[in-house]
Amino acid sequence: MTCLRTPRLTLRRWREDDIAPMAAINADPEVMRWIGDGSVRDRRQTAERIAAWEREWDERGVGLFAVECRGTGRLAGFAGLSVPAFLPEILPAVELGWRLGRPYWGRGLATEAARAVLDFALRDRGLARVVSVHAVGNTAAEAVARKLGMRRERETTHPAYGMPLCVHVLEARS
Ligand SMILES: CC(C)(COP(=O)(O)OP(=O)(O)OC[C@H]1O[C@@H](n2cnc3c(N)ncnc32)[C@H](O)[C@@H]1OP(=O)(O)O)[C@@H](O)C(=O)NCCC(=O)NCCS
């Protein structure tokens, strides 16, 4: 089973008991402010997403990891890989994404998790190119992409919601 460890975090596949803490993260308007149309998700929607992420792992061998704090065993959020199907103009592509609950912000945890995922993507899965897409104005997400060494490639518009988006790219050194 795919599992990554960093000094402070364990990145692992999803379990049934992750639904409640992930639903609490998805119910926070501050967390969801820059995601899609900014609407929060309830427990049923969260459970459906987790089931879909697990199917991605089974079918593609990549997906979103549950991010757990090693010190407490608590779920902090997710980080991982997905196909940005909502943005056809950049396909084919694999997106590196992250979402943490508010108590976990501001400690470098998103960058720590995302670095481990990037290493997994490039070395373990042999991907040559990884993108990161975030809403223009999501300064924290942009800072994480920059700290990962990603290059700002373009700005575009969300096809469904109309807000400006920024695409960052990292290409593996050949
Ligand atoms: C984006 C997110 C994962 C960042 O988590 P984090 O653990 O705080 O990130 P890190 O601490 O690793 O790095 C955040 C960086 O952004 C900076 N930052 C955070 N909020 C900021 C703000 N409002 N304005 C400017 N910079 C900000 C921090 O200073 C830090 O940079 P630094 O290390 O150079 O000081 C977290 O804010 C989150 O989950 N947000 C909601 C979900 C989301 O928007 N996900 C991305 C969707 S594309």
CB neighbours (10 Å) of residue 101?
19
- pLDDT-derived band at 163 (thresholds 50, 70, 90) equals very high
- Best residue among 90, 95, 111 to mutate for probing ligand 1's pocket (most ligand atoms within 8 Å of CB) is 111
Residue 1 has pLDDT above 80, yes or no: no
For residue 140, how far is its CA from the centre of ligand 1 (angstroms)?
Answer: 3
**Ligand 1 pocket check for 53: Cβ under 6 Å:** no
Domains of the chain with bracketed CATH: 4-171 (3.40.630.30)
Structure confidence at residue 104 (pLDDT):
98
Residue 165 has pLDDT above 80, yes or no: yes
Give the predicted TM-score (pTM) of the model.
Answer: 0.95
Give the pair of three-digit tokens for residue 57: 């792992």
**Ligand 1 pocket check for 39: Cβ under 6 Å:** no
Residue 174 has pLDDT above 70, yes or no: no
pLDDT digits (tens, 9 = 90+) for 106-120: 999 999 999 999 999
- pLDDT-derived band at 2 (thresholds 50, 70, 90) equals confident
For residue 108, how far is its CA from the centre of ligand 1 (angstroms)?
Answer: 8
**Ligand 1 pocket check for 110: Cβ under 6 Å:** yes
Nearest CA to ligand 1 atom 43: 99
pLDDT digits (tens, 9 = 90+) for 26-52: 999 999 999 999 999 999 999 999 999
Averaged pLDDT, 77-93: 97
